[in-house]
Every structure is written in C-alpha cells, then in structure tokens.
Amino acid sequence: MGMNIIPMARPQMGPEELELVASALASGQLAQGERVRQFEDQFAEFVGAPHAVATSSGTTAIHLALLALGIGPGDEVITVAFTFVASATPILHVGARPIFVDVEPRTYAMDPEQLERAITDRTRAIMPVSLYGQPANMPAILEIAERHGLAVIEDACQAHGAELAGRRSGSWGLGVFSFYPTKNMTSGEGGMVTTSDGKIADTVRLLREHGMKVRYHHDLLGYNFRMTDIHASIGLAQLKKLPAANERRRAIAARYTEELVGVLPPDERPGAKPVYHQYTLRVRRRDEFTDGLQARGVGSSVYYPIPVHRQKPFLDIESARVSLPVTERLVEEILSLPVHPSLTDDEVGQVVSATNATAAELGPWVAE
C-alpha cells in the first residue's frame, strides 16, 4: 500500500554539514583535532557551562562523568528507571549500584521527594534525566544534593537547549549529552560532558584518551572514547541550527497541547522551556491507539516500553528489585507523536486530526 506515514524523526543534513565534513576530510585531520575543540567551545558557550568535553557517544559521556567523580564499587548512584537503558548501564560498568526512584506522572522526571528518601551513607551521586527535552526539577535536586554533599549529573541526552529558571540543561552540576541522529541535534554519533569544574573536565579528557596528556605517557587507566573531527564537523553545523529547530519543536508542541482532545498531554514544568525531543501523551488502549494512528498515516512510538529496572541486565541486580508504581503505569500508557522540526503545518494538522479521531473512537482519557 502506498500511503506515506509521517515518521518519528527526519534528520536534516544540508549544505552546511556537507561543507564542513568535506573540509575536514580534505584537511587530512580525521581523528580528534581542532574541529572537536571548536565544537567543545561552542557547545560549552551554548549551554552556559565553562567546560565541555566531547566523547564518542552519550553513553561514554555518562561513563566518563561517573569515573571522573571517582564513583566505583560500593557506591550508590540514584537515578530513574523511566529512561533509556544507557542512563543506567554505565553505573553497572563502573561497578557501582544503581538506586531507582520513581518519577512525577506529568513531567516524567525524577520525583525529588522519592530522591530524598533514597539517600543512604553510600550515596555518591544523583542522576536525574531531562527526558523528552523537559528539564528535571534541577533546583530542588541541587538543593538536596548540596545538603547531603552529593554530586549531580544531569542526563541531558534529550535536552539540548532546554531551559529552566533561565538556565540551560547541562549548566547545573555535570551535564551529559548525546548526538545520536534522532536527537534535537546530531553529530552522527557523539556525546558531550559539560561541567563548571575544571578538574573534572581535565579528568574526563584524560580518561577519554588512554590517560594520556603527554604523548605515550599514560597517567591513568583510560579508554578511547574520542569523537572524530568528521563527527564534530556535523555537530558544529547542527549546533547553529539548533535554536530555530527547538523553536519549531516548541511551536508544534504548543499546537498539539492546544488542539488535542481525549488524551493526556505532557505538562510543562513552571519556569521551564522544554525543547520537545519527544511530545509524549498518555492514552488508553495504547496498542489500538497506535494502530488507529497508523491507519490514518501517522507514526508514533513508545519511549520506552520496559523500565530500566525490568530490563534483563538489571534482573540480577539486587538494588533493582524495587517497585516503582508511577513508572510501571506510565510505560503502559505513554505514546510519543512526531514533533520533529521538519514537519509541515499540514502534517502537524494531520497528526492532530488523526489523534483526535483515534481518541474519539477508542474513548477519551479518564483520570482514575
């Protein structure tokens, strides 16, 4: 059948990306070099963080942030299970214990009250996730962290340019970002650690490159988690387009929230400017809802159907044997609609009418 389905993402590569990649290739400098440094400087400035260190992915950014904080066996890191698995797998890789707390039902982010109750004398760090492009409650989380002397890593892998109280995601404590192709901006693959702490930034740089500051002198056990100049070139071009792309995402989201009927839209945190990496509803009868959208030419997706504490690598982890009622309910009800900036106004209209028709057919959302 020939119907075109409106897709969940459409990465936009234009002449700016092509030109920068071509000049990187022509220069012969392919691995980490000047382009990576430029990308780090411009990204740090954009976020409002004094330091940014580029990595090979968001996952390796999280891994290095944990290592730079000295987190390892015997330590606990408090995070959420309502996220992509890679928020938590690096906690296992460094040998620490993930402690999962529940999320707020309308912003989908870490519940600060649950956080406070989960702190023990083994807690070393807190990792809230600014999921779908909406900042977690960073002021409340920082206040708790300061009171207990804990580090904070904001997983901002989906929150490039998101703001809360006039500050951008990644400027509170440590921030970690992903530049995977479907993100609000991409480098192909890539990641970034942002921080105001120059010592942490130095340690991340060392760990990223075999513990090496002076060529072939290895000061600590490191990795090759570098970004290439080819990927940084894509990232530089994409960073320039990010503010306009985020504004377009916000405008589409505003129209959805205004016009959708019979579903539960996401809440905006007071004082926040989310960048809508995803626009995520709660619906009844989700499988049928997905089919109803598909039949009307609209793609949709579930991010993510299984919470992290129920994923196979975590089933043998004692600290992951917890019950998280909000998380466990949300994973049954959430559904993300296309919200990427290349949607035309007609496509946005089609998403609205398909969603409203499907909700009317299946019965409206009702609060319990």
Ligand X SMILES: Cc1ncc(COP(=O)(O)O)c(C=O)c1O
Instruction: Give, to the nearest 10 degrees, the angle between helix 58-68 and helix 198-208.
Output: 120
Non-local (6+) Cβ contacts of 257 within 8 A are: 265, 266
Q: What is the DSSP letter of 282?
A: E
Handedness of CA 350, 353, 358, 359 (dihedral sign): positive
Please say which residue, 83 or 203, places its beta carbon nearer to ligand X. Answer: 83
Burial degree of 31 (CB within 10 A; 0-12, 13-18, 19+): exposed
Smallest separation, CB 268 to ligand X (Å): 19
Smallest separation, CB 352 to ligand X (Å): 26
Smallest separation, CB 90 to ligand X (Å): 9
Smallest separation, CB 10 to ligand X (Å): 17
Please say which residue, 53 or 157, places its beta carbon nearer to ligand X. Answer: 157
Please say which residue, 57 or 300, places its beta carbon nearer to ligand X. Answer: 57
Please say which residue, 81 or 115, places its beta carbon nearer to ligand X. Answer: 81
Smallest separation, CB 86 to ligand X (Å): 4
Please say which residue, 327 or 355, places its beta carbon nearer to ligand X. Answer: 327
Smallest separation, CB 320 to ligand X (Å): 17
Cα of 190 vs its chain's centroid, Å: 13
Please say which residue, 153 or 359, places its beta carbon nearer to ligand X. Answer: 153
Smallest separation, CB 322 to ligand X (Å): 20
Please say which residue, 89 or 356, places its beta carbon nearer to ligand X. Answer: 89
Instruction: Give, to the nearest 10 degrees, the angle between helix 229-259 and helix 345-362.
Output: 50
Please say which residue, 81 or 157, places its beta carbon nearer to ligand X. Answer: 157
Instruction: Give, to the nearest 10 degrees, the angle between helix 15-27 and helix 229-259.
Output: 160
C-alpha to C-alpha distance for 192 and 205, rounded to whole angstroms: 11
C-alpha to C-alpha distance for 292 and 253, rounded to whole angstroms: 21
Report yes or no: 59 and 127 within 8 Å, Cβ to Cβ: no
- Chain residue at closest Cβ approach to ligand X: 58
C-alpha to C-alpha distance for 296 and 318, rounded to whole angstroms: 44
Q: What is the dihedral of CA 107, 113, 115, 118, to 10 degrees?
A: -140
| Tokens at 317, concatenated | 């982890």
**Chain residues that interact with ligand X, rule: CB under 6 A:** 57-59, 83-84, 86-87, 129, 155, 157-158, 178, 180, 191
Q: Are strands 76-80 and 123-126 parallel, antiparallel or unpaired?
A: parallel
Please say which residue, 83 or 169, places its beta carbon nearer to ligand X. Answer: 83
C-alpha to C-alpha distance for 128 and 21, rounded to whole angstroms: 34
User: Which residue in the block uniquely carries the two structure tokens 């119907």?
Assistant: 3
Nearest Cα residue to 60 out of 241, 278, 231, 237? 231
Smallest separation, CB 148 to ligand X (Å): 24
